[in-house]
Each structure stands twice: as structure tokens, then as C-alpha cells.
């Protein structure tokens, strides 16, 4: 089993993960994948609304709100021969906004080396092969940042079928860390991951982006342990040096497959964010944020490409007086 972000969604993993459904053209194969998601959310946003308010979009201030959001992703991959893939990923929502989410080219220059160029998802944070919650964790949502434009060289150092070790180097422009930053300066990163069929996967990265005011440095490690049948245990740790303020994020979650007639599972997660001087939350002093997630996921038709999922999320602040709460229900269908 490989995590989606051991080496980001590009390079060797992108070539290996290209969609299986394809239409043969004169000079290559075009493949389509994607998903449609509809989420209903009730939120009570009285704190900073770090990870809850983005779904129901309540008005500023102490607010109860009910919202419904529909969105889609559509991916097209054009494979030229055996060595080159070009991928475009488009995102749209119920407000009529359609945006380019990714657009990149992967050249499998050697059996063990691939070069990726373009606009793509970043390498930060835990990315499971399948969604284990409805919404992102506090840590991933606040710290993982945005997609980037750049180049990446990735290499599979070892792969014997039972275990593999991958490394990648990145040069980029954008804000892969803390999506609120403009990210106008060129940055550099190294990422690596090890996967073993007996226990799971671990990965990590070091990102450095110079800035006129102060450099931003991000250290991230994550793991997914699958050695116990029907149980996934995962963790994600960030250290961010942001404008002389230290930000530390930690999330842990566990997913257990239930013995039901149709595929279903439950997930419990907890996240911790330590925000020095309130640099992220706007708190007047050092802020500690704790978030709890409980989710129930199911495929009621027995088809893994259709899911109905539910989640409860509660976010607590130390310096900010009030907390946030959210209830979510999701219908999701995927194009494999």
C-alpha cells in the first residue's frame, strides 16, 4: 500500500496511478476520472472557524448556519506511448465557478526516474489512498497550503513488490504551506517515503521558501499503519517556522472496518495546533487549538464508487473564548 503523498501526485506514482479506463486515439490513450460530491452541513461558528466554516459559509460573527454545497472534480490524462502522461484536473462548484486544479506533464525518463513539470498538488500532509473523513483535519486544512507550479524529479530507489522507497526533489513557486501566504518566491523541497506491505507506510518532507521578510521552513512527517486487520492508524506532524513564530500541528486518526452487510467503517480523529503569538488564529497570545472528528462511512449499494458519509467535528480554542461545531452529511460518487 502506498500513500498518495509519499512522492506527490506526480512522477512515478502518477504514472502508476493513471486511470485504467481509456479510449485509444491515433497517437495515444486518453483516460477520464473524477468525482461528484454533495455535502449538507450545519455549523455553529463562534470561535475562529478554522476548518468548519468553509463548507456552510456562515456570516461573520456568532452564527448558526445550514448550508449545502455541491462540487465536482474531472481529471483527463493523455498518455503518449509508454513514457509521457499529460494530466488536467478541473474543479467546479455550485456557484458556477470552474477552476484549473492541476495541469502537469510526467516523463518517465528511466525505469527508476520520472520528471514532472506543471501545476500540481503539493507534497505536504497525510493523504490516504481512500478518504477516511468527510472534511480535512484541522492540521491538514490549516497547514497543507495550496497547489504549486514547478518541477519535480522523483526516483524509486527500491521496489521489490513487498516494500518500496521513493524520493523526490522539488523546485516550485506558490504556497504549499499555510495557504494564506502569497508564495511569490521560488522554494525548494525534498520528500521521501517508505512503504511495506506488512505494516504500512511512512513519509516526510522538508520545505524551504526564501522571503524578503523572513524565510518559511516546514518540516512534515506522516505515517499510516495497517498491520492489524480492518484497522488503519495514521498520524501527521508539522513544524513550521513562520516569520519568527513557531507553529506545530499534530493529528492522529483511526479507521475501523465494521462487520456489516455492505462496506462501512468508522473513523475517530484528534488534532492539536500550537500557534505562537496567534500568528494563524488571530488570538492575542499563544493559542492552543484542539479538534475532534468522528465519522461514519458506508457504501450502501456495495459499490465502492458510491458512498454516503457522516461526520461530527468540534473545535476548541484556549485564548479565543468560544468553540466551533459542525455536522456533515455527504453523498459522493467517483468515476474510477
d(CA 267, CA 128) in angstroms, rounded, equals 13
Contact predicate 3/222, CB 8 Å:
yes
Q: Which helix (H) or strand (E) holds 326?
A: strand 324-335
Burial class (CB in 10 A: 0-12, 13-18, 19+), 104: buried
Residue 72 lies in a domain: yes
The answer to whether the Cα torsion of 129, 130, 136, 138 is positive or negative is negative
Residue 211 lies in a domain: yes
Residue 289 lies in a domain: yes
CATH number at residue 110: 2.40.160.10
Residue 6 lies in a domain: no
Total domains present in the chain: 1
β 245-257/287-298 pair status: unpaired
Residue partners of 320: CB distance under 8 A and separation at least 6: 47, 48, 281, 283, 287
Largest CA distance in the chain: 63
pLDDT (tens digit, 0 to 9) for every residue of the chain, 336 residues total?
334 454 444 333 343 334 445 666 656 788 999 999 999 999 888 777 777 755 545 455 556 778 888 999 999 999 887 889 999 999 999 888 999 999 999 999 988 899 999 999 888 888 877 789 998 888 888 888 888 999 999 998 888 888 989 999 999 998 888 766 666 689 999 999 999 988 999 999 999 988 776 788 999 999 999 999 999 999 999 999 877 788 999 999 999 999 999 999 999 999 999 988 877 777 778 889 999 999 999 999 999 999 999 999 999 988 777 888 999 999 999 988
d(CA 258, CA 130) in angstroms, rounded, equals 16
Both ends of the chain: CA-CA distance in Å? 18
* pTM (predicted TM-score): 0.87
Beta strands in the chain (DSSP E): 22-25, 28-45, 63-80, 84-93, 98-110, 113-120, 148-159, 163-174, 186-196, 200-209, 216-225, 231-242, 245-257, 264-275, 287-298, 306-317, 324-335
Contact predicate 216/209, CB 8 Å:
yes
Residue 3 lies in a domain: no
Mean pLDDT (the chain) is 84
d(CA 48, CA 140) in angstroms, rounded, equals 16
d(CA 202, CA 6) in angstroms, rounded, equals 8
Residue 4 lies in a domain: no
Torsion angle in degrees (nearest 10) through CA of 146, 149, 173, 127: 40
pLDDT digits (tens, 9 = 90+) for 17-31: 344 456 666 567 889
Residues in the chain: 336
| DSSP assigned state of 276 | G
Residue 1 lies in a domain: no
Domain of 174, in residue numbers: 11-335
d(CA 333, CA 33) in angstroms, rounded, equals 11
Residue 2 lies in a domain: no
Report residue 53: phi and psi, to 5°. -65, -15
Amino acid at each position: 500500500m502506498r500513500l498518495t503523498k509519499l512522492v506527490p501526485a506526480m512522477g512515478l506514482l502518477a504514472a502508476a496511478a493513471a486511470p485504467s479506463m481509456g479510449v485509444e486515439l491515433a497517437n495515444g490513450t486518453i483516460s477520464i476520472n473524477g468525482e461528484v460530491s454533495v455535502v449538507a452541513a450545519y455549523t455553529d461558528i463562534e470561535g475562529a472557524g478554522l476548518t468548519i466554516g468553509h463548507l456552510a459559509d456562515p456570516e461573520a460573527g456568532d452564527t448558526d448556519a445550514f448550508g449545502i454545497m455541491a462540487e465536482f472534480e474531472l481529471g483527463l490524462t493523455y498518455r503518449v506511448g509508454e513514457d509521457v502522461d499529460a494530466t488536467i484536473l478541473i474543479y467546479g462548484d455550485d456557484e458556477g465557478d470552474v477552476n484549473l486544479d492541476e495541469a502537469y506533464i510526467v516523463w518517465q525518463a528511466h525505469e527508476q526516474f520520472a520528471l514532472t513539470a506543471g501545476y500540481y498538488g503539493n507534497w505536504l500532509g497525510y493523504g490516504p489512498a481512500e478518504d477516511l473523513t468527510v472534511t480535512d483535519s484541522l492540521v491538514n486544512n490549516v497547514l497543507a497550503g495550496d497547489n504549486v507550479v514547478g518541477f519535480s524529479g522523483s526516483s524509486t530507489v527500491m521496489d521489490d513488490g513487498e516494500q518500496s522507497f521513493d524520493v523526490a526533489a522539488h523546485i516550485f513557486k506558490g504556497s504549499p504551506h499555510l495557504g494564506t501566504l502569497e508564495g511569490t518566491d521560488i522554494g525548494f523541497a525534498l520528500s521521501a517515503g517508505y512503504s511495506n506491505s506488512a505494516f504500512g507506510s511512512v513519509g516526510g518532507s522538508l520545505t524551504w521558501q526564501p522571503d524578503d521578510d523572513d524565510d518559511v521552513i516546514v518540516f512534515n512527517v506522516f505515517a499510516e499503519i495497517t498491520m492489524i486487520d480492518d484497522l488503519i492508524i495514521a498520524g501527521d506532524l508539522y513544524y513550521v517556522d513562520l516569520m519568527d513564530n513557531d507553529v506545530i500541528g499534530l493529528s492522529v486518526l483511526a479507521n475501523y472496518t465494521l462487520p456489516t452487510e455492505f462496506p462501512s467503517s468508522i473513523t475517530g480523529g484528534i488534532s492539536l495546533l500550537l500557534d505562537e503569538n496567534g500568528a494563524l488564529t488571530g488570538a492575542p497570545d499563544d493559542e492552543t487549538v484542539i479538534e475532534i472528528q468522528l465519522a461514519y462511512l458506508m457504501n450502501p449499494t456495495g459499490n465502492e464508487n458510491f458512498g454516503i458519509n457522516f461526520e461530527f467535528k468540534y473545535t476548541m480554542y484556549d485564548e479565543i473564548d468560544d468553540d466551533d461545531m459542525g455536522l456533515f452529511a455527504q453523498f459522493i460518487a467517483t468515476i474510477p
